[in-house]
Amino acid sequence: MNDTAYNNGFLNQLKYLHSEDDKYTLDNLCKNCNLSRSQLHRKVKDEIGISVSIYIRKILLNKVIELLRDTDSNISEISYLSGFASPQCLSKN
């Protein structure tokens, strides 16, 4: 597997981290990529220039935008559907 294919798979797994499967964790990602947490954080920073937490926050906020645009759900429902623990957590972001 070349580096580009590996990196694309790696970034896809990172996106999957906060998609439909709420049981997929950062630890699962580390295990699947054969990386420690610190190696994962370094790799993400090297690949996309931002930290794992900022990247995940961007994924969640993009999901919020999508749900606001495409559904009639209220903000509380959207906060939970997009992966935030509560509407308060969404408002802090």
Kindly tell me if the per-residue pLDDT of 20 is higher than 60. no
**pTM here?**
0.69
Of 7-11, 27-31, 45-49, 57-61, the least confident:
7-11
Q: Using CA atoms in the order 22, 49, 78, 82, what is the torsion angle rounded to 10 degrees?
A: -10
Contact status, residue 88 vs residue 76, Cβ threshold 8 Å: no
Q: Which residue has the higher pLDDT, 61 or 20?
A: 61
Domain 3-92 classified CATH 1.10.10.60? Answer: yes
In this predicted model, what pLDDT tens digit does every residue of 50-78 receive, in sequence order?
A: 888 888 788 888 889 999 999 999 999 99
25-42 per-position pLDDT tens digit = 778 778 877 889 999 889
